[in-house]
Amino acid sequence: MSDAYASLVEAARGRPFAAVVGWPIEHSRSPALHGFWLKQHNIDGHYGRLPVQPTKAALGELAAFLRRTPNALGCNLTLPHKVEIVPLLDRIHPAAAHIGAVNTVVKLADGRLEGRNTDGFGFLAALQEGAPGWNAKAGPVVVLGAGGAARGIVAALMQAGVPELRLLNRTQATAVDLGVAFTPRDGRRIAIERWDDRSRVLEGATLLVNTTSLGTKGGQPLDIDLRRLPASAVVDDIVYVPLETALLAQARARGNVCVDGLGMLLHQGRPGFEAWFGQKVDVSAAQRREVLAA
Ligand code: ATR
């Protein structure tokens, strides 16, 4: 067993525990968000971080560790493990199977490991919180990006009843794959549009979502002209460093309701916490402040 596992077990001091697993993992805010709930509800448990290399052997060791450690409840997975973990688990929840990625592992009562995906839940819950008046069925939505995050978001939006989803990605072939995977059989459409048309396809949209990494601090900006976006549309950016991206600042200035990326991060943690520690939780302004300061 590597030192990282030994340190995690030691930090848990016999209490039930979960952890966020990634490579690298030092900058994850998940310990802050779960730590907040543990304190808030006076739960004698632990949530740590575990660096695991992106190899099949290392992920196999993780699964074996979770199975054999009695007080291990499960884990969250972040980059680059969300897809590679899937074949090493015992059960995959249907929604996670559909998305093809797992961000939450829950050890069931019989010791088997179940993979779930709560990204779509987190996205919709944050959207509902930030823009309570938004109605999925009211009109077309525009989604920028077709990476890992987009898969959960597109699946959730189609399931929520969006009548038409316009999907754009720099690499169009990836958007086509996503369109094939998530187009329902009831006649609703996922329209694949050209990345260069991103300012034009905003006409009539009720929601614009950025799932790309563009706009992240230190990275490239997202270049888009919002003139054609209705003033009544909601703009949702899943980037949360910075919290107020240039996209959100531009949208806010013209009167659009804005949803920042921190809400999705917080809400996606709820189902895992509830399954592991048996306590219903919600997000709060105090938790937002604590996670931002972490
Ligand atoms: P995540 O899991 O966070 O979605 P990802 O799978 O690496 O991360 O996806 C990153 C997204 O940002 C992709 O849609 C990517 O577009 P490509 O599929 O063409 O790579 C998009 N992206 C990253 N850098 C970009 C850039 N400079 N211009 C346009 N899109 C970019």
pLDDT of residue 1: 60
Instruction: Flag whether pLDDT at 130 surpasses 90.
Output: yes
Among protein residues, the one whose CA lies closest to atom 18 of ligand 1: 171
Strands (E), the chain: 17-22, 46-51, 72-77, 91-92, 104-107, 113-116, 141-144, 164-168, 189-193, 207-210, 234-237, 257-259
- Ligand 1 centroid – CA 43 distance (Å): 38
Interval between CA 47 and ligand 1 midpoint (Å): 30
Catalytic residues: 82
Mean pLDDT to the nearest integer, 137-156: 96
| This prediction's pTM | 0.95
Neighbours of 277 (CB within 10 A): 21
> Which two three-digit tokens encode residue 139?
């009109």
Chain segment 6-25, per-residue pLDDT in tens: 999 999 999 999 999 999 99
Cα–Cα nearest to 124, from 20, 253, 270: 270
244 confidence band (pLDDT: 50, 70, 90): very high
Which atom of ligand 1 is least distant from the CA of 220?
27
Protein residue with least CA distance to atom 29, ligand 1? 170
Ligand 1 site, CB within 6 A: 145-150, 169-171, 174, 211-214, 220
